[in-house]
Every structure is written in C-alpha cells, then in structure tokens.
Chain A
C-alpha cells in the first residue's frame, strides 16, 4: 500500500490541491481510506492528518471504514421514487442479503442510498463503484446480484446495464447543429478578443446555473483585476435533483463546451482551466479526457493555440458526492482539495477565486452558448428570448410525462407549451428549478421560463394528480438535511429540524401549532443561513404551504398536541432490560390535555384571571 500511495502522490506532484483526486483513487482501490494511508499522505502532501480526515468525512463517496468491494448506491431522487425505487431497493437488499446502509458480512458488497445521480430521465438509477446504472428493474437487479456474487470484474458486466441515453427531444438555437471543432476560436481570433467580449455582451447571455449573472460582465470584471494569473472553471457539478442537461452536453457537445472555456481564457487571459465534473458522471471521464487530448493534438489546447500566442489547458477534476460543491465558492474550495464549504462573498471568485486568483466560474451550458455566440455573433442570440432573458434554455424534463429528456426552448416559453411537448397529461404541478426552486400548481401554467418569472437551472419535474405533494416535500426536505455542509448553525440545525417537523406532520402526529412552528422555522432557515443551500432549503415547504394549505391542515389531528414520536416505544429497551411490563412501565401517546380538541382551549392565556 505504501508504494501505491506514494505512486499516486508522485503522479499528483505532491500537491495538496489534488487531495480529492488522490483520495478517489485510494477509495477506489481499497474501498475506504485506511488510517495508514492518511498518515502517509499527511507526510507526502505536508498537510495535517486532521485536514485529510475532515475532507474524507465531508464527501459522501469517501469512507473511513471499509465499504463492499462492490459498492452499490441507489439514487434517492424523487424521480427515482416515482419510478418505483423503494420497492426495487427493498428487492435488491433482500436478494443481496444486506441491509441498506450496511456492508455484507463477507465484505463483498455494500448498499446505500445516494442523492440524485442525474439519470432522472432513465431511472431508477444507481452507481456501482462510481459507474452509472440506469433503468433498473427486477430483471436487471437479478443480473447485478448474480454478477456481484460471481465476483465478476466490472468491465465484464454487460454494457446495457451502463447504457446512458441522451434523450434529446427538442433542439433549438444551441443543440440544432454540432459546431465544427475550432470554429469559435477561429472566429474569436479573427474578430479580436475584445470585440468577441463585446459580442458576448451584446448577446445578453446570463449564467445558466440558475442565478443568471451576466456572463460578459463577469468576464470583464475578471479581466480587469490587477493580477497576472487567472483561471477558468466550468461547473459541471450538476447536483440539483432533476437536472441532467450537463450530462448530455458533456456527452455529445463537450468539444463546444471546452471551446467556450478556451474563448473565455483568451478574453480574460487565463492559462489554466478546470472542468469540475460531479463524481456521479465518472462514466464520462475517459471520453472527456480523449476529447481534451484530441484538442491538444489539433492545436486547440496547450501552447500557442492556433498560432495566436495563447497558452491554455484544461484539467478535469472529479467531485466526490457533495451537492454543495455546485455553489461556486464551495466548488473552488473543493478544487483546492478541501471540504466544500462556501466562502464569504464578497470577495467574489472574479476577484479572489482559485488559490486566491481571479477566476471565472460558469455553468456548462453557459460555455456552450458562449462558443456559439463567438461564431454567430451577439445579435443571433439576442434576437431570441425575452427582454431580460436572451436566447434559449435547455431543460431537463422528468417525472410524469411520456417523453422525459432534454428540451431546448427560447426564454419566454410558457409552462403549458413545455407540458404539451413532452406529453404530460393530468398534471397537478411542476417543480421548476429543482428542490431549491419553486413548485407551481396547475393554475399557473401560463407562467414563463425566464429570469424575470420562473428562473431555473434546468430542472423540471412533473407531477400528475396521482402524486402526493407531501411525499415530494418530504423527499426534498430530507435531501437538504443530508446535503447541508454543516458550516453554519441555521442551516445545519435548521434543515434537520425542518426534516423532523415535516416528518411529524406527514406521519400524522401534527396539530395546529405544528404548522405555525414549521412556518417560523422556514423563515429562520431562509433568512439566516450562510449560503444559497440554506436560503432555499425551506422552499419546498414554503411554496407548497402557500399553494396547498389544506394538504397540510388535513394531516393535522384536531387535538392540541401530540409528540412526533412513539412515546411508549421509546421505553422498549428500558422495559426489556429492567424486565418490566407493569402499568408504570408504559406511557400513553397523549394525555387528557393533549387530546383535548383545539377549539376547547381557552382563547386567552392572560395571567391572573
């Protein structure tokens, strides 16, 4: 092991910034990070062992105790649940004879839930040793169980288990044609980089991750910083449940994305770029590397690109299972080999980003669009869309519709149009922008996709009238509690309290005061959290409480109060150990006061009357 670890550290030039990539290799080889490896790395990388441990504990894909040699993770996205995930997981656990969350006694296999793996159009989905599994059903699970038990190496598993389709159903401005390799760079150099920035400005392009900051402005700010070193980062940590467009863009349009990054580098004067690829998209890694190599051979990356004196190269860094790393400053921390905890902003990454240097971080789709704009000019893009939202938006559509997949629409398109195109009938509502976005009811389908109305990073999950909205709220709220980075108290504690309170209501233990308490908690988490995760974690509850107050009220008991857990059940262990079963060894769930109807309570609590 010493030799193996030394080898990896050497390949990574003993750089602590490569800690994540190093740990990924160790986890992949040993199925956990052994204590001895931590000690050794601490010496080789000159960082404290506690720092390494904090990184291991932060990311879901790293473990301090051994996982199975076949590590199976099943996606827990609401879309997987809608496709029957729960039954399949139970079936898989039974067939493998391993509990969810555990390692089988022989150490061969472990099974666990994981946050959305970005296969919502072809779920239920999962990962085996990091590689995506799609369209799981009982027969594919039978096959997987057999392969695991036979200890077949992963590369001998049938390819169809790993088949990932693009499912592009509607293309527009960007997806209509594949750009010729090098076209954007040639146009940019011919026009001049300053003039190209002016075209990007004229196009009105805004960031496609959801926040919508004007791209040209970001690039301009970065280029104006008085620093000699700058970086370009492509954010492909597509973690918002229900989003998978970047997966498709990187599978079929990667050349154009890399070209957009290179154009950006030419404009701002960067020599190094990074593609931060979410760990769940490991299946794309080799393909992307070969595209980068090809671009180097064709003089589109490396030194003196197209003989224009531009030196620029791109490195791919894989994430390790942390939704928060989609937040740009957390992503930069992660790129630096640290836990993905969001930084204070300002300073923004354009002034102090990667290693404290000016850094442009943009979404995959933003770079794709920028490359097209470099070729076709700003007007070509700005002619389409609305006044404040130019161009098109690529949507990842999933949930209850006939054709889940990728759809490209001009901004300003109504939700109803989208629903008609993808074959969604009997729709109850749509979650636009993922769990951190907005739930809209079927009374609002005339609303438009646009930054000024419904802003979205691309997630579009459809629910038909057979669905229970509270199941969705429950799933999303648990997601945020799991993904909170733990840095600030309002989010770390708040998301867990939200989860507890929503569980209480969904499980039917709630009473009138509980919804009031829930609303207060939502405001607290929203208003006091450090970053966007906490600020949006209550959105699923807030947006549905607003639209469907009755759904919540109907779950409430008409009594003044009841505990949210089984009170008598909480005495089970003590009863068994004390060997008691007398009346004093039991508790009623509510007492006379608690079970009084709400209406019978005194209206005023004034004292001294």
Chain B
C-alpha cells in the first residue's frame, strides 16, 4: 500500500504504561501494520517526526524538553491525541504541583536522606523543570482525548480504526467506565 497512515507516538512525563497498553492490542497489531506505518516512536527508534497523520502523546508536560517534543509533534501531526490520565490532567507527576519546585529540588538534590555530593544539576544538556506539571492541552491545541490510566487496548483499537476508516471517533460507555 503506497500511502500508509503515518503514526508517531511519544511519552512525556508519563510511565510508558499507555504504550504498554497499546501493545496489548496483541495480534491486531498485524492488522494495524497493514494500513499504518510508525514514524517517531519508542518502537521505531526514529528521532524526529515528519509529516504524520496521527500523533499519540502519553504523559503531561513537566520540563522544557517536553515542551519542545510536544511542539514538534504538533507541527508535524495533523491530528494530535492526548492519551491517558497524565496527558489529560497531569496525572501522578502533577502531585508535585502542591509543593513549590524549590522544595522539590532541595529535597531531591540537597537535603534528602542519603544524598551524596549535594548539588543542583546544572548541565546545559539537561532540561529545566517547569514550576508546575501541565496537561498537554495547556501547551498546544489537542484534537482528541483518550481517557484511562491507561486507556485499554480496546480504546486504542476503537479510536484508531474509527479514524483510519474515516469515522468520527467515539468511545462507547463500556470502554470508558472504570468501576
């Protein structure tokens, strides 16, 4: 197939749990591979994305590198999707939002129990932390949201097949209720 749908994925301030859940579509991955090719993604090792159709973003935005990556995806993906609780709300990493960043860094690098050679890292290679962790829609425009921690494999499957087959994606109630 000449024009495969190009999909890129990444995890920002996330745990890769959403990616793992995506892989749980199991053998359906083969079906997907017939119509889709992966661009930048942990499963391809491509470093930068170019001209994609769909970008799947896991995790929120906690540092400057997350901002750059997110913007690269926005610039290169026609449709950008917030995948999972952290991308949508900040999730677990955002629990630090209640504590001033200065206290977090002091605890981690200066005052914490067992810290040796206390020093705040300052290498220019390292991204700086934002004072708060943000959901990704506060940084760039997001087109769709896949809820869940993580969204189940069926959620990925339903969403992607809807998009690929030209339907407006919709998730039935069974896929998004959690109790």
Contact = CB atoms under 8 A, between A and B. Distances in A.
A443 interface: no
Contact of A584 (B74, B101, B124): B124
A591 B131 contact: no
Contacts of B95: none
A582 B53 contact: no
B166 A577 contact: no
Interface stretch (A235-243, A467-475, A524-532, A558-566): A558-566
Interface string B105-120: 1000000000000001
A561 B79 contact: no
B112 to A, nearest CB: 15
Contacts of A579: 120, 122
Interface stretch (A102-110, A342-350, A366-374, A599-607): A599-607
A158 interface: no
Nearest to A493: B89
Interface string A556-577: 0000110111010011111101
A607 B71 contact: no
Interface string B47-77: 0000001100000000010010001001100
Contacts of A608: 3-5, 53, 164
A577 B102 contact: yes
B175 interface: no
A580 B131 CA distance: 15
A606 B124 contact: no
Given A574-B130, A577-B102, A607-B78, A564 B138 contact: yes
A593 B75 contact: yes
A591 B141 CA distance: 12
Contacts of B140: 561, 593-594
A594 B64 CA distance: 16
Residue from the set A563, A575, A608 with the largest chain B CB neighbour count within 10 Å: A608
A585 B128 contact: yes
A549 interface: no
A607 B5 CA distance: 7
A572 B67 contact: no
Residue from A572, A591, A607 with most neighbouring chain B CB atoms (10 Å) = A607
A565 B138 CA distance: 8
- A: interface residue count bin: 20 to 34
A597 interface: no
A579 B124 CA distance: 10
B23 interface: no
B45 interface: no
A192 interface: no
A306 B78 CA distance: 81
B122 A605 contact: no
Contacts of B131: 570-574
B34 interface: no
A591 B101 CA distance: 25
Contacts of B120: 577-579
Contacts of A594: 71, 74, 140-141
A574 B101 CA distance: 8
Given A565-B138, A574-B130, A593 B53 contact: no
A573 B138 contact: no
Interface size class of B (residues with CB under 8 A): 35 or more
Contact of A605 (B130, B134, B143): B143
B129 interface: yes
Which residue of A573, A574, A580, A594 has the most chain B CB atoms within 10 A of its CB atom? A574
Contacts of A577: 102, 105, 120
Contacts of B4: 608
Contact of B141 (A561, A570, A602): A561
B132 interface: yes
A191 B53 CA distance: 81
A513 interface: yes
A1 interface: no
A585 B139 CA distance: 17
B176 interface: no
Nearest to B4: A608
Contacts of A513: 141
Contacts of B130: 567, 570-571, 574
Contact of B128 (A565, A571, A606): A571
B91 to A, nearest CB: 14
B71 A593 contact: yes
B102 A573 contact: yes
B172 interface: no
Contact of B67 (A565, A580, A587, A607): A587
Contacts of A578: 120-122, 126, 128
B73 to A, nearest CB: 10
Nearest to B119: A578
A36 interface: no
Contact of A580 (B100, B102, B128, B132): B128
B138 A570 contact: no
A277 B79 CA distance: 55
Nearest to A574: B128
Contacts of B75: 591-593
Contacts of B3: 608
A465 to B, nearest CB: 35
Contact of A593 (B74, B121, B124, B163): B74
A580 B101 contact: no
Contacts of A573: 100-102, 105, 131
Counting from the closest, the 3 A-B pairs by CB-CB distance are A574-B128, A578-B122, A607-B53
25 contacts: A513-B141, A561-B141, A564-B138, A567-B130, A570-B130, A570-B131, A570-B132, A571-B129, A572-B131, A573-B102, A573-B105, A574-B130, A577-B120, A578-B121, A579-B122, A580-B122, A580-B128, A587-B67, A591-B74, A592-B75, A594-B140, A605-B143, A607-B5, A607-B79, A608-B4
Interface of A: 513, 560-561, 563-565, 567, 570-575, 577-580, 582, 584-585, 587, 591-594, 602, 605-608
Given A570-B131, A571-B131, A608-B4, 10 more contacts: A560-B141, A565-B134, A567-B130, A573-B105, A574-B101, A578-B126, A578-B128, A584-B124, A607-B78, A608-B3
